[in-house]
């Protein structure tokens, strides 16, 4: 994140559940480090109550996620580390899409943040919007919070009923079938790597 002057930056760490797209942990720091990444991980695990769950944490190859401090914590929590392959740009698509959404928000300050607290306050607002208001196109236009809580099935079923009723009432206005409101099932981090997340146990997905 841009700072008050050219060349000064703040460092945003976010963790996203790829099943629900919910941001499960975040913080803005003055510097990158494995210790800071560990802090965000610990908060996410506690907040989501997923201690002793079979989790996988996927990250890029940057030192903040490969340092001994973080790797020791992953081992302690029983979390399997996974890293993007060198020179493969699409190995972390969910995180890349999340950060792109963040930086392309109309309210993102193009001239940077004056202080660390300003950056933290802005990101807090973004995460609130993203999790609870943003209707995500990748999960049938429900919010990440709805899918994370298992509420998406009821929401999508209701939309299907409403669309079908509208089509039955005015068939001439419809050129084909109604929108597909079937909940998304299995989610793959990268189909080529076959790292899949089961729809059966959403509480045990990537933190």
Of 61, 65, 19, 12, nearest in space to 38 by CA: 65
Residue 109, domain CATH: 3.30.420.10
Residue 76 in any domain: the answer is yes
Instruction: Tell me how far apart the alpha carbons of residues 144 and 127 are, in angstroms, rounded to a whole number.
Output: 10
Of all residues in the chain, the percent with pLDDT exceeding 70 is: 88
What are the angstrom distances between the C-alpha of 82 and each of 42, 59, 70, 183, 190?
Answer: 17, 6, 12, 27, 12
| pLDDT score of 90 | 58
Residue 99 in any domain: the answer is yes
Residue 156 in any domain: the answer is no
Residue 1 in any domain: the answer is no
Over residues 17-45, the mean pLDDT reads: 94
Instruction: Tell me how far apart the alpha carbons of residues 155 and 136 are, in angstroms, rounded to a whole number.
Output: 13
Residue 78 in any domain: the answer is yes
Residue 159 in any domain: the answer is no
| pLDDT score of 100 | 94
Model confidence at 178, pLDDT cuts 50, 70, 90, reads confident
| pLDDT score of 88 | 54
pLDDT digit string (tens) for 119-159? 999 999 999 999 999 999 999 999 999 999 999 999 999 99
pLDDT digit string (tens) for 35-82? 999 999 999 999 999 887 788 888 877 778 878 888 888 888 888 888
Instruction: Tell me how far apart the alpha carbons of residues 24 and 13 are, in angstroms, rounded to a whole number.
Output: 11
Secondary structure element (H or E) that encloses residue 148, with its range: helix 144-148
Q: Do the Cβ atoms of 201 and 73 come closer than 8 Å?
A: no
Model confidence at 173, pLDDT cuts 50, 70, 90, reads confident
Number of domains in the chain: 1
Of 145, 170, 165, nearest in space to 155 by CA: 145
| pLDDT score of 200 | 39
Residue 59 in any domain: the answer is yes
Phi, psi (rounded to 5 degrees) for 90: -110, 25
Domain membership of residue 142 as a residue range: 11-148+184-204
Residue 6 in any domain: the answer is no
Q: Which has more pLDDT, 178 or 40? A: 40
| pLDDT score of 205 | 47
pLDDT of 207 above 50: no
């Amino acid at each position: 994140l841009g700072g008050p002057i050219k060349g000064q930056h703040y460092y945003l760490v976010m963790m996203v559940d790829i099943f629900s797209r919910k941001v499960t942990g975040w913080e803005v720091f003055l510097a990158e480090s494995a210790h800071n990444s560990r802090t965000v991980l610990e908060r996410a695990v506690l907040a989501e109550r997923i201690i002793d769950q079979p989790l996988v944490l996927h990250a890029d190859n940057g030192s903040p996620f490969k340092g001994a401090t973080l790797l020791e914590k992953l081992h302690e929590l029983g979390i399997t580390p996974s890293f993007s392959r060198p020179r493969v740009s699409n190995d972390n698509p969910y995180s890349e899409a999340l950060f792109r959404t963040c930086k392309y928000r109309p309210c993102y300050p193009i001239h940077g943040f004056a202080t660390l607290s300003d950056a933290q306050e802005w990101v807090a607002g973004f995460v609130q919007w993203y999790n609870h208001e943003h209707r995500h196109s990748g999960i049938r236009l429900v919010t990440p919070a709805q899918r994370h809580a298992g509420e998406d099935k009821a929401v999508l079923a209701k939309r299907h009923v409403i669309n079908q009723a509208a089509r039955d009432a005015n068939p001439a206005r419809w050129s084909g079938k109604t929108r597909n409101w079937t909940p998304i099932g299995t989610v793959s981090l990268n189909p080529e790597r076959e790292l899949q997340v089961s729809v059966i146990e959403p509480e045990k997905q990537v933190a």
